[in-house]
Amino acid sequence: MERKEYSLVVFDWDGTLIDSVPNIVTALAKAAESLGLPVLADEVYKGIIGLSLGEAITTLYPDLDEDRLVAYREAYRDFHLELEQQPSRPYPGVTQGLEFLKNTGIKMAVATGKRRAGLNRSMTANDYQSFFEASRTADDAHSKPHPMMLEQLLDEFHVTADQTLMVGDSGFDLAMAANAGIDSVGVTYGAQNKSNLKEYQPVHTVDSFDELIDWLGRH
- Which residues are annotated as catalytic? 12, 14
Residue at 113: amino acid letter: G
Task: Looking at 116-193, list the stretches that DSSP marks H as alpha helix, in order from N- to C-terminal side.
Answer: 116-125, 148-157, 171-180
Instruction: Enter the DSSP assignment of 146.
Output: S
- The span from the CA of 174 to the CA of 91, in Å, is 20
Cα 9 to Cα 107, 142, 184, distances in angstroms:
6, 20, 9
Q: Where are the beta strands (DSSP E) in 33-74?
A: none
Instruction: Enter the DSSP assignment of 51.
Output: B
Cα 63 to Cα 24, 38, 58, 66, 68, distances in angstroms:
21, 12, 8, 10, 9
